[in-house]
Structure 1
Amino acid sequence: MGTARPPLAPPEGALPDRAAAPETLLDHRRIFAAIAGRDPAGARSAMRAHLERVTRTFSRG
């Protein structure tokens, strides 16, 4: 069995730049807010922006 970690903590090494964690959380909150607000266009836009940012972050290596 692996070591337990606090809820919602990213796995070690999941983010190439730990400084990106606050931005990722903000992205997720925007996506959630749009979904909760039943705003499919807003959710789509927020998800697309998140994926583009994550792709740039991971591409830097």
Structure 2
Amino acid sequence: IGLRAVLYTLTGKEIPDAQDYAEPGKTLVLPDSPVVTAANADEWIGRGWGDFEPTPDPCR
């Protein structure tokens, strides 16, 4: 559900019935992820999500 919500946010889609949290959020420190740039894009072709399409309602 969280990943779908992120994909919706990144693609500009609205999340139905989204609500603010009652408590303040947390800062998450995640491990470094590789960065895909124009210079190294060729090595990443075929290693992505393919034809992934999120479901119409990410909360179900």
| Fold equivalence (TM over 0.5) | no
Structure number, greater radius of gyration: 2
Question: In proportion to residue count, which structure has more helix?
Answer: 1
TM-score using structure 2 length: 0.24
TM-score if structure 1 supplies the norm length? Answer: 0.24
